[in-house]
Structure formats: structure tokens, C-alpha cells
Amino acid sequence: MSERPTGTEPLRLMAVHAHPDDESSKGAATMARYSAEGVQVLVVTCTGGERGDILNPAMDRPEIKADLAAVRMEEMAKAREILGVEQQWLGFVDSGLPEGDPLPPLPEGCFGLQPIEVASEPLVRAVREFRPHVMLTYDDNGGYPHPDHIMCHKVSVEAFEAAGDPDRYPGTGEPWQPLKLYYHMTFHQERFQAEHAAMVEAGLESPYTEMLKRWQDRPLQWEITTRVPCADHFDVRDQALLAHATQIDPNGPFFACPTELKKKAWPTEDYHLARSLVDTELPEDDLFAGIREKVCLS
């Protein structure tokens, strides 16, 4: 039998991400809030982001390009310290984002080409070691169709469903069953419409006009079930994003809307509850709704 939480153990949250910087652009304020409240938070990073591009012109230098993997590891170390979380690498190699028509094949040995059992085994091990009550990941489209994001979704669902089964993934530790699995719902029309309106009202030029036109009549694939209030930690999120200096341009789209306006326009980070083994009433404002009754903070 797998273990389930009982007694007075601390709450634990695991966020599974494809690349370094993903944890700072999706759910970062949520993690910072829960960490500040005493929840143990672990970010699991599936790949090293080795095939990523340098997206900040100020960092586009030959010496950085020559050792991008090491630079991104240093950036991740800074970001996790800012967020107040633990972090673990799974050790897979970035697949890159294929471009062209037709799309070229993915590089041999990359994360996106791993058999599901191979890609999931270290995550199952991590779940059994950390013993999270809640897991965060991407939806089945990866949030956007990057092969590593899609594989991240697959291994997260596999680990959620397999980690509690003593007959699966033998040799990876004592079984542990997480209680809830959420998908990030970070980038959606309702949020950007609110930020757009706030900028227009403040007399600022909104960068979202064309994007919102493209998004007209595009329904959400997944219902937002859970909105976590975390505006007090948006500044921490900004700092964590900026720690990923090769990936985040301080003059780029992540900072187009001033943080103070974001706090007023959209003070939550949003999720879809994809799996739950506890009773909870939707909509929620807490990832641990239905779990706090079972687990008391020590």
C-alpha cells in the first residue's frame, strides 16, 4: 500500500517544469506565497535548457552562447533562492523547439523522444522521496506545443498515477500517493483583457491589443477551477524572472504591464484541478483545499 498523509507533517508542493525559467513564468508567485507560509516547495526541472535561445539582447554574447547550459544552471540557482524553494534537476537534454515546414525531427536522445517509462522514472523517484501532497504541471498541450512541455505533462501525469502503486517503478523508493494534480492556466484571455483595460485606464499604451484580437472567440480548453491570491508576491516573481537573464528581456513582454497594475487587475495565479483524491468544493482559492483538513502544519 502507498503512504497517504496523516498527522502533523508539513504541507508539500511539487511543481514540475520543462526548462529553467519556466518555474518563474508559471506559478512563481504561488510558490513564493506558499513557501513564505511554511509549505515545503520543490521545483523539478526536467531539462537543462541547453538548446534554448538567448532572448535578452543584452546577454547575447559569444562567451555566454559557448556555455549556455552552465549559465542557465547559475540562473536557476538564483531564481530558486529568490523564490524560497528547493529545486532538483531530472537530467534530460532539451529537445529544442523545431521550426520549419515540414518540422525537422527532434535531436536524438532528447527529452521529447524518451520512452515514457524512461522519462518518468526519475520523477517517480522524486515524488517518492519528496512526498508532495500537491503537484503542478502543464496541460496536455504543454501550455504551448513545445515537445518538452508536452513530455513534461506526460511524465507528471504518469508519476501522479504511478508513484503510489508499489508494483510500478520498483527500486525508486517507498510508494507515495499525491492527492491533487493541477494544470497551470497562466496565459489566458480574461487575464490579459483585465491587464489591457487597466493599462488603458491608466493612460498607458497596451501591448495586448493585437493579441486579444487574435484570441477572440478562442475558448479555454480547460476550466479555471482554482484562483490563488498571490499579488503580494508578484515582486518576488519579477525578481525570479529577471534572474533568468538570458531568457527574460527586462524591456520585453513579461514586464509590459507595470506590476502595480497587475496586482489590481489580476491578483491571482490560476489553475485547473485535473486530479483529486480528496473532496473539495469548486471554485477554490487554495491548492491545499481538502488537504489541510488531513495534514496539519507543524
Q: Residues with Cβ < 8 Å from 78, sequence gap 6 or more?
A: 243
Flag whether 211 is in a domain.
Answer: no
Cα→Cα distances 265→231, 232, 250, 298, Å? 10, 13, 21, 35
32: which strand partners? none
What pLDDT, on the 0 to 100 scale, is given for residue 80?
A: 98
Query: Residue 92 in contact with residue 46, Cβ under 8 Å?
Result: yes
DSSP 88: E
Q: Which of 6-10, 162-166, 291-295 has the lowest mean pLDDT?
A: 6-10
Strands 12-17, 134-137: pairing is parallel
Please report, as a single letter, which amino acid is at residue 135. Answer: M
Which CATH number is 155's domain given? 3.40.50.10320
Measured CA to CA, the distance from residue 44 to residue 39 in angstroms comes to 16
Please report, as a single letter, which amino acid is at residue 43. Answer: V
Confidence grade of residue 7 (pLDDT, cut at 50, 70, 90): low
Question: Has residue 298 got a pLDDT over 50?
Answer: no
Cell reading at 149: 512541455
| Structure confidence by residue, pLDDT tens digits, 94-124 | 999 988 878 889 999 999 999 999 999 999 9
CA-based diameter of the chain, in Å?
A: 60
- Tell which wins on pLDDT, 143 or 175: 175
Measured CA to CA, the distance from residue 45 to residue 8 in angstroms comes to 29
Flag whether 30 is in a domain.
Answer: yes
- Bond into 283 cis (ω within 30): yes
State the residue range of the domain holding 121. 12-186+223-259+268-276
Average pLDDT, integer, range 131-146:
95
pTM score, two decimals?
A: 0.94
Flag whether 164 is in a domain.
Answer: yes
Q: Residues with Cβ < 8 Å from 187, sequence gap 6 or more?
A: 143
Of the candidates 225, 221, 227, 224, the residue with the CA atom closest to the CA atom of residue 269: 227
Q: Residues with Cβ < 8 Å from 245, sequence gap 6 or more?
A: 56, 58, 59, 75
Count of structural domains, the chain: 1
| Structure confidence by residue, pLDDT tens digits, 162-197 | 999 999 999 999 999 999 999 999 999 999 999 999
Measured CA to CA, the distance from residue 137 to residue 149 in angstroms comes to 9
67 annotated among ligand-binding-site residues: no
DSSP 166: T
3-class SS of residue 108: coil
Flag whether 198 is in a domain.
Answer: no
184 annotated among ligand-binding-site residues: no
Flag whether 87 is in a domain.
Answer: yes
Give the whole-number percent of the chain exceeding pLDDT 70. 96
Flag whether 100 is in a domain.
Answer: yes
249 annotated among ligand-binding-site residues: no
Flag whether 239 is in a domain.
Answer: yes
What pLDDT, on the 0 to 100 scale, is given for residue 1?
A: 47
What pLDDT, on the 0 to 100 scale, is given for residue 133?
A: 98
Confidence grade of residue 3 (pLDDT, cut at 50, 70, 90): low
Flag whether 216 is in a domain.
Answer: no
| Structure confidence by residue, pLDDT tens digits, 216-256 | 777 788 999 999 999 999 999 999 999 999 999 999 888 98
